Amino acid sequence: MLNIAVINGGRGASSIIPDLIRQTDLHVTSIVNAYDDGKSTGEIRRFFHMLGPSDIRKVQELMLPQESTLYSEILKLFRYRFPLNCSNKEAVKKIQNFVCGFDNELIDLKLASERIRINIKVFLRCFLDFIKSIEDLNQIKFNFSDCSIMNCIYAGAYIYFKRDLEQATLFLGQLFGLRGHVLATSNENKNLVALRANGEMLYSESEIVELRSNVKIERIFLIDKTVNKSRFEKLSIDQKRYYLNSHHCNVPVSSSVIDAIKHSNIIIYAPGTQHSSLYPSYLSSGLAESIADNKNALKVFITNIGADYETPTYKASDYILGAYRYLSLSDNRKYQMDEFFDFNLINKSNLKNDETYVKFDEEVLNDLPVRLLLENFESTKFPGKHDGLKVISKILELYNQRALTICN
């Protein structure tokens, strides 16, 4: 059994993880940060003062066992969101009726597994009790508009497990029989912000995600509290840099993540959005050290095929150089690039090749101490996306070649 650690950030991993977990001889651990603060996740974070469960939920959804007779109903549970016009009273009543046994269905779902049904009732009761206490204290109402029911379940589990997000995540993974593990990089509730090269500030993860501009992000930061926008905008760019650098938190990576990296045979850096999803994970103190200290693992970096909104001008080299930069920023140790990466997988497109595709800047990449693999890794069904089976087959081929070389 090979241990695979995937450092991922949302959509990019959706083309890889399903094909990984189909391999019966692989144990897959997905490592993802939880700084998302958009939509219903933002409401959960404001009420519960916790990290956001949405990216954890999305990756766990990818790991649901499709061969299970419960798959369709659990998938519906993971994907259900309350309507945009759903009132607090209406949503609370729907959840209360299920929790108290007045209604056997939750969101028109019977939940055939008694074990799943009982545990979800416990977590939703915790959720309702907690939001009521906050509503009574602060005279505000929880906004259920477009809210994921699974986010409510995660929040209730978080309270049930004494505000331990990792324990809640692992329990829910066991409850749903996932084909792998998902670990948040850290349990510390921090806020993700970014400074752009022109001095403009992005005050939240959701603002980074929604960015539509060619102006580069200079750097991301993790801070304890959000800043006062009206006052902060009056500062010079040097004053902003000083404030953010002096308030940036060295967030320690969880011990479980360190353990997963330590025992990994293969470490995969998945494609995806950089500043909102991947770079915050790389910043976790202790992650870079654990990767560098695992001398036996095969370490593979997968470059994006298409540009995204956060990095519209990135060339292929910018992706791996950005990863190296943020991993190096995580502590005071001086790392060499080849301590993090053995291979850089870059797509050679056989489909379309327009301005939306990441440009292969060969001269820069050839100067880096990382072996290049330029091949067709693109899905024919979904142009611009990776074909997971092609990627995984190549990575396992590289691992087996390396193992054979060591044996000889």
Residue 21 lies in a domain: no
Q: What CATH number is attached to the domain comprising 267? A: 3.40.50.10680
Model confidence pLDDT, tens digit, residues 143-197: 999 999 999 999 999 999 999 999 999 999 999 999 999 999 999 999 999 999 9
Same domain, 274 and 354: yes
Same domain, 80 and 208: no
Model confidence pLDDT, tens digit, residues 282-298: 999 999 999 999 999 99
Same domain, 295 and 379: yes
What is the Cα–Cα distance from 20 to 120, expressed in whole angstroms? 28
Same domain, 179 and 196: no
Give the end of a domain, one of 200, 216, 247: 247
Residue 84 lies in a domain: yes
Model confidence pLDDT, tens digit, residues 378-408: 998 888 889 999 999 999 999 998 877 766 5
Which residue ranges of the chain lie beneath pLDDT 50?
A: none
Same domain, 158 and 223: no
Same domain, 400 and 262: yes
Residue 354 lies in a domain: yes
Domains in the chain: how many in total?
3
How buried is residue 89: exposed, middle or buried, by Cβ count under 10 Å (0-12/13-18/19+)? exposed
Same domain, 179 and 290: no
Give the end of a domain, one of 184, 208, 227: 184
Same domain, 48 and 88: yes
- Please tell me the predicted confidence (pLDDT) of residue 351: 59
Give the end of a domain, one of 142, 159, 184: 184
Same domain, 402 and 270: yes
The two beta strands, 217-223 and 191-196, are: antiparallel
Residue 7 lies in a domain: no
Same domain, 118 and 243: no
Residue 370 lies in a domain: yes
Residue 13 lies in a domain: no
Residue 359 lies in a domain: yes
Residue 386 lies in a domain: yes
On whether the CB atoms of residues 130 and 48 are closer than 8 A, the answer is yes
Same domain, 266 and 179: no
On whether the CB atoms of residues 32 and 184 are closer than 8 A, the answer is yes
Same domain, 216 and 346: no
Look up the domain containing 207 and give its range. Answer: 191-247
